[in-house]
Amino acid sequence: MHRHHLSQSGELSRSCCAEQGSPACSKAPQVSRVRVQLEMQALWQQFDQLGTEMIVTKAGRRMFPAFQVRISGMDPSAEYVLLMDFTPVDDKRYRYAFHSSSWLVAGRADISAPGRMHFHPDSPGRGAQWMKQTVSFDALKLTNNLLDDNGHMILNSMQRYQPRFHVIYVEPAPHCHSHAHRNFCSFSFPETQFIAVTAYQNHRITQLKIASNPFAKGFRTTDPQDW
């Protein structure tokens, strides 16, 4: 209902080259074969169908669901840095119309400083390490505090964002004349788009959060099975 973004991806795994639409890309072999699979995809899609909302607070709030991926196709012995950022989907500001239970455009978005990067705390690490288990960004926090000093991701409330995931291959002996663009690749999962909010707007989102986030168990009234 009331979704504004592209249709969801049916792919189980995704490559950065395919995303560019270029069959023979000019990426370094250490990144060109990297495949990334979104974890908890079914849950993400459940939220996405309602229009995902993520709380932002001054102190910083975790995302739920957390952004987690399974990675394959890395060079096991090569070193990689993994990171995330968030790009505005558009320059619009949104407003939730309770009477119609839908999101409306409410003008132009505030101008915002260029987004921060969030490096996965285990970076840098070898390909073998990254591939052997799910890579989780569950420590990442979202804030609406423009002066945040804790390294959280700064977002504008009531604006729509697309989380992005980046894999950077760290060359053992970097060239002066670096071909940096060849050494990284990026991944976006449309079903992880969300609107940043300071308080939940859509009551069905609230209920799905309560039903699926263990930390919100205190607010459950019915069994999680009922969902």
157 belongs to the binding site for DNA (CB under 7 A): yes
What strands lie across the sheet with 61-62, from one edge to the other? 61-62, 141-143, 153-154
Question: Restricting to residues 181-220, which ones interact with DNA according to CB under 7 A?
Answer: 197-201, 206, 209-210, 213-219
47 belongs to the binding site for DNA (CB under 7 A): no
- Backbone dihedral angles phi then psi of residue 185, each to the nearest 5 degrees: -145, 155
| Sole binder of DNA in the list 55, 89, 109, 170 (CB under 7 A) | 55
C-alpha distances in Å from residue 36, one per residue of 107, 144, 167? 35, 29, 10
Query: Which of the ranges 29-37, 61-69, 74-82, 185-193 carries the binding residues for DNA, by CB under 7 A?
Result: 61-69
Task: With both helix axes pointing from N to C terminus, report the angle between 41-50 and 203-212 in degrees, rounded to the nearest 10.
Answer: 160
Residue 6 Cβ vs DNA, minimum distance, rounded to whole Å:
24
From 71, 111, 65, select the one nearest 91 (Cα to Cα).
Answer: 111
**Residue found under tokens 């859509």:** 202
Residue 212 Cβ vs DNA, minimum distance, rounded to whole Å:
9
Residue 42 Cβ vs DNA, minimum distance, rounded to whole Å:
18
Q: Between residues 65 and 127, which has the closer beta carbon with respect to DNA?
A: 65
H helices, E strands: number in the chain: 5, 16
158 belongs to the binding site for DNA (CB under 7 A): yes
Q: Between residues 10 and 214, which has the closer beta carbon with respect to DNA?
A: 214
CA distance 227 to 3: 21
Q: Between residues 76 and 227, which has the closer beta carbon with respect to DNA?
A: 227
| Sole binder of DNA in the list 47, 80, 96, 137 (CB under 7 A) | 96
**Token digits for 188?**
């976006």
- Chain positions contacting DNA, by CB under 7 A: 55, 57-58, 61-62, 64, 95-96, 98, 106, 144-145, 157-158, 197-201, 206, 209-210, 213-219
